[in-house]
Structure 1
């Protein structure tokens, strides 16, 4: 009994030490009260690795050797959030932690600057980005002294976090390996010189994803490659009226995060097409990506760095892609070429469907009316909501959008469907009559050699 009484305090001490060692440090959770009062900058760095995917460990700003979970042989990624007007943690945070670590064995450091970002006064939060960047720069310089090369660092910044990443990169003289900006904040940064915002000179490779350029995001290209989803403005599936509440204001802006998440999961790959304008992209004027060789058009998101060398040679590149309204967001792209017989010119819109079993993929080419002219090949760009390979049937529908005029017909001498970024051969069909607003279904066949 006496022995047990002596051992009990020792066992209790060991148990408490083990529990203490297993404690997790969590992202700062604030509320509207904090935001109304205003918060001063307090940067907390939380380390996640494959050994502790769901348990963050607080990192010392001055003593790297005390952080046993940090592995200097791995690359290091910093994730920097943006403005937090309600003070709550980002709802997507744990998801992106899990997906990043699933893709690569890394040191993932969450930069928690919620004290500083949580403020109803946006101007104060903008001011705090510089203080946060100074703090983070000091940390990067500290780990550099421990043998961590800046070129092995990837910084992912959301909204204001994109500019924080840029400030750090500029302070490191552009030696950071990569900076990814997810809809870099526009208000208070638009029109500012390069040293007062994220810029392509801030890292060896800068890729930027734009989803809300007409409101909360930054409009102009600022990276080595700038990806504009659906032109960078209204995102499919996001509310169009203010009565939708908070989602109306933040849905387009946050879509950048969810598109990036999908690129990590690799459930499907969105390809972007370098182009001078969104209209040219929709018109199919920019589907040639031969400048990138066998790799084809750049992938949006995490894997964009695979095109780094080609993009650095090309210079700053604007690129466009379309998405669906929900995950999977990626579309499948085809060129559709129509040759008609009608003597009189026709204007209208084309909807294409591909079928295989119960699966149906739809592409509505309706961004603007298309001119159809006799013996002149009309080139269209079709973006299908699903990827259906080796379709067994195809449908076409011609509409004019004018309910008060007589119904027209298109006599199609040939329709050719050519996949973009695929080695599949084109499919054709010959001599079809399209009555306005009536869907015509047929079996496509391999194109004749003269139609390639």
Structure 2
């Protein structure tokens, strides 16, 4: 990786990390979601990794830093499948599971697709042109996380959409015995998982489960948003067609903010790309055809109340980052989450919101003709 910018002293970084470790031990965080529970410390290495990018390469030879600045072909051609290793629970793309949920009477019932064994699955064929919803989680997923399970349930209870859950947890979870990799190694797997998801789209087409890539709607949270973007890029590069829609829920920022649009989720990756921004952990700049910023896209009322109750910053950070999928899940059931087209949240609060000239529905039922940035104030607890 090429390092630019001013150098930060190693002693400063080491001291910062030591102080942070001490604070965390004294104040053990209790969180939920992608940055949750004992995982809070590990997730904070994500932002610490961005500091490391400013250190000269010679000073970090022993640290595992992702190679996301390589070309697309280099990122996906090297070690396509891989093997288990000591850094992550697995590095093998065949350990990614594709779980199909299409029993609307029993949302916990599923069957698994095996991409390496050609088959037809008549039960997945659907009536009425309902698009397949493909849900992709983020870093260090656990069964207690609300996404994608609650979003899957919302679809199955209220729509006729079949849902495919991309379970890549083994490639997204560090081996806690390894002190060197953590988030950066998971981030380095994003293009490779995107390749496997691209294979999923080809599988669905070849087995006539879908008739066209426009029948695909990706919903990805955090790193999952960038995985969806990679799958869309690869499909267009190989077949010259785009998936119908990608929804990015607070696309991951650490190690991705400074990358080119050809390496992160971008509006060119699907016919329609909509983004819900919800925290400083995500990328704040517009990425989609339409970008939504509930409560300004950084801090949310229910998260502030959580901070007041617990006095634990870990819960607050995770709450804001995970709010993106809470807003989206809510939009599946309640279609009236209305946002206003404005240039900024400040403008929205001062004047634009009161005399709004252009509205858009946030989430599942957004108009595909919507363009630009939209803001709203919304309390999930009310």
- TM-score under structure 1 normalisation? 0.58
Q: Distance in 2 between matches of 1:37 and 1:63?
A: 29
Contact 1:35 1:118 in 2 (8 A): no
Q: Distance in 2 between matches of 1:327 and 1:178?
A: 29
Q: Distance in 1 between matches of 2:274 and 2:354?
A: 20
> More relative contact order in 1 or in 2 (CA 8 Å, sep 6+)?
2
Deviation, 1:52, is: 4.4
Alignment equivalent of 1:260, drawn from 294, 305, 328: 328
After superposition, the Cα gap between the structure-2 partners of 1:152 and 1:37, relative to the gap in structure 1 and judged at 3 Å, is same
Q: Distance in 2 between matches of 1:104 and 1:143?
A: 20
2:172 is aligned with 1:117: yes
Q: Distance in 1 between matches of 2:259 and 2:232?
A: 17
Contact 2:88 2:172 in 1 (8 A): no
Q: Distance in 1 between matches of 2:85 and 2:151?
A: 25
2:187 is aligned with 1:126: yes
After superposition, the Cα gap between the structure-2 partners of 1:99 and 1:191, relative to the gap in structure 1 and judged at 3 Å, is same
Alignment equivalent of 1:71, drawn from 117, 121, 125: 125
Deviation, 1:103, is: 3.0
2:255 is aligned with 1:205: no
Question: Tell me, which stretches of 5 or more residues in structure 2 are unaligned?
Answer: 1-37, 40-83, 177-181
Q: Distance in 1 between matches of 2:133 and 2:302?
A: 31
Aligned residues: 281
1:282-341 deviations in Å (ceiling 9; x for gaps): 0122555555xxxxx11111111xx213x2xxxx501111112x434xxxxxxxxxxxxx
Deviation, 1:94, is: 3.0
- Measured on the aligned residues, the alpha-carbon RMSD in Å equals 2.6
Q: Which has the higher helix share?
A: 2
2:54 is aligned with 1:54: no
> Which deviates more, 121-130 or 237-246?
237-246
2:196 is aligned with 1:135: yes
Question: Tell me, which stretches of 5 or more residues in structure 1 are unaligned?
Answer: 1-30, 292-296, 329-452
- TM-score under structure 2 normalisation? 0.68
2:105 is aligned with 1:44: no
The aligned residue for residue 64 of structure 2 is: none
Structure with larger Rg = 1
For the residue of structure 2 that corresponds to 1:46, the secondary structure is: strand
After superposition, the Cα gap between the structure-2 partners of 1:289 and 1:175, relative to the gap in structure 1 and judged at 3 Å, is farther
1:13-412 alignment to 2 at 5 Å?
Answer: 38-41=88-91, 42-49=95-102, 50=104, 52-63=106-117, 65-71=119-125, 73=127, 74-84=130-140, 87-119=142-174, 121-147=182-208, 148=210, 149-173=212-236, 175-212=242-279, 214=280, 216-239=281-304, 240=307, 243-244=311-312, 246-266=314-334, 269-288=336-355, 290=357, 297-304=359-366, 307-309=367-369, 311=370, 316-324=371-379, 326-328=380-382
Contact 1:275 1:318 in 2 (8 A): yes
